[in-house]
Amino acid sequence: MPATPKVSIVLPIHNAGQFLQECIDSITKQTFSSWELLAIEDHSDDESHEILLSASALDSRVRIHENPGQGVVDALNHGIGNARGELIARMDADDLMCHTRIEEQVNHLEKDSDLGLSSSLVTHFPRSQGNERKGYEKYVQWTNSLITRNDLEANRFVDCTFAHPSVMFRKTIVEKFGGYSLGEFPEDFELWLRWMKSGVLMEKIEKNLLKWRDHPGRLSRRSSRYSQEDR
C-alpha cells in the first residue's frame, strides 16, 4: 500500500460512466500528489465499475470500495470512515477539479490551524441555453459572492453556502461532531449548519477551483431532498 496520504478524496459514484473518466483525469493531474481517491461504487449498472478498475490499475492511489449501504449519505460516511488522510476532499463524479485545487486547499488549511473547512469559488457549466439552468446560475453567483467566515455565517440559513464537491475539511471534525445524516434534507446543508453551530470555522479561497457540471441527471435535480423553488 502506498505511503499514508495527506488528503483523502471521497467520490461517491452511481451510474456516472458518462463523465467519470474526465473527473478522474482531473484528479490524477493535480499538482499536489499526496492523495488517495476513495471511489465509493453505489450499485451502478453502467460502465462505472470498469472505468474504476482501469483507473486503479494505472494509479495505485485509486481505491475502489463498494457502498455497504444505499445512496450518497451511506457512500460518503463509508468513504470518510475508510479514509487514511487527515484532510477529506469532497468530489462528485460529474465535476472537474482545476489542477491546483488540492494544493491550494491544503495550503489554506495549513496556514490557519483554527480553520476547519476550506472551500472555493466554482464555475457553473455548461452555459445555459434560454432559461433551462438560470436558477442554478443565480445560485452559483450567490455562493461565489460569499467568501469570508462572516459572509458564510451571516447567510447560513438562506441556502447552502458551498458547492458540496468544492470543500475540504479536517477528518478530526467528523470524529468530534459527526458525519453526514440521512433525512428529508440536503445532507451537505445539514452538515454545515451543524458544524457551524458547533463552532467550526469555514472560509473560501477566492479562486475558481472546481468546475461544477449541471445536467438533468445530477442528484440535486432528481431528488426532492434538494428542491428549491428558484432552481
Residue pLDDT, tens place only, 87-110? 999 999 999 999 999 999 999 999
SS (H, E, C) the chain: CCCCCCEEEEEEECCCHHHHHHHHHHHHCCCCCCEEEEEEECCCCCCHHHHHHHHHHHCCCEEEEECCCCCHHHHHHHHHHCCCCCEEEECCCCCEECCCHHHHHHHHHHHCCCEEEEEEEEEEECCCCCCCCHHHHHHHHHHHCCCCHHHHHHCCCCCCCCCHHHCEEEHHHHHHHCCCCCCCCCHHHHHHHHHHHCCCEEEEEEEEEEEEECCCCCHHHHCHHHCCCCC
Residue range 150-172: average pLDDT? 97
**pLDDT value at position 229?**
44
Confidence class for position 126, pLDDT limits 50, 70, 90: confident
CB contact at 8 A, 76 and 179: yes
Top pLDDT among 180 and 127 is at 180
pLDDT at 215 over 90: no
Query: How confident is the prediction for the chain on average, in pLDDT?
Result: 92
Is pLDDT at 168 greater than 60 in this prediction? yes
Averaged pLDDT for residues 41-64: 97
The pTM score is 0.91
- Report, as an integer, the average pLDDT of 33-52: 97
Mean per-residue pLDDT, 15-26: 97
Stretch 19-25: mean pLDDT, rounded?
A: 98
Question: Bigger pLDDT: 131 or 29?
Answer: 29
The pLDDT value recorded for residue 131 is 58
